[in-house]
């Protein structure tokens, strides 16, 4: 597994105006983790592993996709395990397709949009850390969501609907960044 491309992405993100003070210690943890764990992309590394996710915005840039995750019982953005794949943007695309059924997705940037480190409680696997690398993707204007087995529900949500559905700080941070970036564009 080749860690250098991810480390370069993380290095560029460290200089990005998108990086928030809240994320800075998480970014440092991710860099340390990737540098010290050769199999960081494998979920078999039970203490933790790299994941990738995507904030998916609609064609008119006024709604995002949220999924009510079955296992975690919370509203989150699509994403999942790298499963040995070191191309984290590719993983974010793969997970977005699997969890939404939307094939027409376009990166708004090849660069990282956000990072997060979060604890996953014991389930089928022991409790562990997810070192999540996040991107922003845009769906085609006519994109229709297809449900998946990992979610109770997958929806297009406006900002106000996101605020009603979740209090997850990391999801709300994604929404705040997206709003700020779309206003500046």
Strand partners, 117: 131
Distance CA 120, CA 118 (A): 7
pLDDT exceeds cutoff 60 at 1: no
Q: Are 10 and 31 in contact (CB under 8 A)?
A: yes
**Other residues' Cβ atoms within 10 Å of the Cβ of residue 179:** 12
DSSP string, 138-184: EE-TT------TTEEEEEEE-HHHHHHH---HHHHHHHHHHHHHHHH
Count of Cβ atoms closer than 10 Å to residue 39 Cβ: 13
> The domain 4-184 belongs to what CATH superfamily?
Nucleoside Triphosphate Pyrophosphohydrolase (3.90.79.10)
Return the bridge partners of 151, or none: 69
pLDDT tens digit sequence for 91-128: 999 999 999 999 999 999 999 999 999 999 998 889 99
pLDDT tens for 160-179 read 999 999 999 999 999 999 99
Which residues have C-beta within 8 Å of that of residue 128, sequence separation ≥ 6? 46, 47, 48, 49, 119, 120
Distance CA 117, CA 25 (A): 9
pLDDT at 79: 95
């Amino acid at each position: 597994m080749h860690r250098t491309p991810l480390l370069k992405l993380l290095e560029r993100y460290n200089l990005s105006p998108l990086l928030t003070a809240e994320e800075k210690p998480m970014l440092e943890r991710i860099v340390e983790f990737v540098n010290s764990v050769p199999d960081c992309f494998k979920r078999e590394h039970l203490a933790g592993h790299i994941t990738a996710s995507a904030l998916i915005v609609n064609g008119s840039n006024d709604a995002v996709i949220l999924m009510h995750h079955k296992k975690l019982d919370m509203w989150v953005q699509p994403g999942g395990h790298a499963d040995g794949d070191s191309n984290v943007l590719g993983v974010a695309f793969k997970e977005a397709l699997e969890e939404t059924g939307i094939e027409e997705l376009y990166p708004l940037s090849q660069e990282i949009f956000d990072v997060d480190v979060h604890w996953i409680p014991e389930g089928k696997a022991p409790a562990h850390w997810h070192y999540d690398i996040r991107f922003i993707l845009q769906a085609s204007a006519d994109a229709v969501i297809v449900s998946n087995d990992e979610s109770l529900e997958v929806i297009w949500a406006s900002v106000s609907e996101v605020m009603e559905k979740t209090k997850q700080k990391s999801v709300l941070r994604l929404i705040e960044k997206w709003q700020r970036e779309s206003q500046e564009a």
